[in-house]
């Protein structure tokens, strides 16, 4: 899987520039979970590698990039990137949209945004049902987002669903779509975030596991040990990943 060496400044600048250019694009915010999902599924690997930007949300991916010689790699978490993008979007008068969560959650998030960023335009808020949309529903949602004028769309419906949704709507929605996972929950206070020291130590997964063990223990038990083992094989030269062509407009440094 491709992971781009970027930063909050670089990523937010790219997103807003693409939005002002009217590009239809999507950004994946990658964790170990996403990395291992791409390892297990060739179709999903194609989806992530086809993104316009893949940021290293998880600290282990930053360490992996640095181990492979990308010394300037830094962590770009979705929950923090959304703040950087919104701040820049407000300054440059770029309208945003929200897709995911519940109507109540989006109402709360919208109120917080309007309070903190009074000049920000939230062009649409859509809370899709917790089931696959019918073709007719999907077409109606796509038209609603396009007609709203939103040029940056934050998509918070979880990995790998949100990445597949963004890829399927590239070219159909004239906006830059960012898959931000649980960022809506974090910013409304519905879900606690790990302390900064745990984020920097690569222990955010442990904090989230402690908060929601019944839902997350299988994910981390399945993915984390395999990620460590497979990356060590790559680092030792015993496993050679298939190279992917660089994406247009993306930073140069990448780990696969």
pLDDT of residue 242: 61
Measured CA to CA in angstroms, residue 210 lies from 42, 120, 215 at distances of 31, 35, 10
pLDDT tens-place values along the chain, 256 residues long = 999 999 999 999 999 999 999 999 999 999 999 999 999 999 999 999 999 999 999 899 999 999 999 988 999 999 999 999 999 999 999 999 999 999 999 999 999 999 999 999 999 999 999 899 999 999 999 999 999 999 999 999 999 999 999 999 999 999 999 999 888 988 888 878 878 888 888 888 887 888 888 888 888 889 999 999 999 999 888 877 665 544 444 444 344 3
- Count Cα neighbours of 116 within 13 Å in the Cβ-side half-sphere: 12
Tokens standing for residue 136: 């007719």
Q: Would you kindly state where each structural domain of the chain is located, as residue ranges?
A: 3-255
Tokens standing for residue 15: 């997103």
Partners of residue 28 on adjacent β-strands: 54
Q: What is the spatial distance between Cα 173 and Cα 69, in angstroms, rounded to a whole number?
A: 36
Which residues have C-beta within 8 Å of that of residue 90, sequence separation ≥ 6? 117, 119, 120
pLDDT of residue 83: 96
Q: Are 55 and 11 in contact (CB under 8 A)?
A: yes
* 3-class secondary structure per residue, 83-130: HHHHHHHHHCCCCEEEEECCHHHHHHHHHHHHHHCCCCCEEEEECCCC
Report how far apart the first and last C-alpha atoms of the chain are (Å, whole number). Answer: 5
Is residue 225 classed exposed, middle or buried when 0-12, 13-18 and 19+ CB atoms within 10 A define those classes?
exposed
Of 104, 112, 99, the C-alpha closest to 153 is 99
Q: What is the spatial distance between Cα 96 and Cα 94, in angstroms, rounded to a whole number?
A: 7
Q: What is the spatial distance between Cα 103 and Cα 31, in angstroms, rounded to a whole number?
A: 27
Length of the chain (residues): 256
Phi, psi of 41 (to 5 degrees): -140, 110
Partners of residue 27 on adjacent β-strands: 53, 178
Q: What is the spatial distance between Cα 60 and Cα 58, in angstroms, rounded to a whole number?
A: 5
Q: What is the spatial distance between Cα 243 and Cα 121, in angstroms, rounded to a whole number?
A: 40
pLDDT of residue 247: 46
Measured CA to CA in angstroms, residue 49 lies from 55, 65, 96, 147, 164 at distances of 11, 16, 25, 29, 12
pLDDT of residue 243: 54
Instruction: Compute the chain's Rg from CA coordinates.
Output: 18
């Amino acid at each position: 899987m491709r992971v781009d060496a970027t930063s909050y400044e670089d990523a937010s600048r790219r997103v807003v520039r693409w939005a002002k250019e009217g590009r239809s694009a999507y950004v994946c915010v990658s964790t170990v979970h996403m990395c291992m999902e791409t390892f297990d599924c060739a179709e999903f690997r194609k989806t992530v590698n086809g993104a316009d930007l893949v940021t290293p949300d998880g600290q282990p991916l930053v360490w992996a990039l640095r181990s492979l010689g990308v010394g300037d790699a830094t962590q770009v978490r979705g929950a923090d990137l959304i703040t950087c993008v919104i701040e820049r979007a407000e300054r440059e008068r770029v309208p945003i949209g929200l897709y995911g969560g519940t109507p109540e959650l989006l109402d709360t998030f919208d109120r917080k945004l309007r309070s903190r960023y009074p000049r920000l335009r939230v062009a649409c808020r859509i809370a899709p049902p917790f089931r696959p949309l019918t073709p007719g529903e999907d077409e109606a949602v796509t038209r609603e987002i396009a007609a709203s004028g939103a040029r940056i769309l934050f998509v918070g419906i979880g990995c790998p669903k949100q990445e597949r949704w963004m890829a399927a709507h590239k070219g159909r929605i004239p906006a830059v779509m960012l898959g931000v996972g649980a960022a809506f929950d974090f910013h409304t206070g519905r879900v606690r975030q790990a302390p900064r020291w745990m984020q920097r130590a690569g222990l955010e997964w442990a904090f989230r596991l402690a908060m929601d063990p019944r839902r997350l223990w299988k994910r981390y038990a399945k993915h984390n040990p395999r990620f460590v083992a497979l990356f060590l094989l790559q680092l030792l030269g015993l496993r050679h990943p298939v190279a992917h062509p660089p994406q247009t407009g993306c930073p140069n440094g990448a780990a696969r």
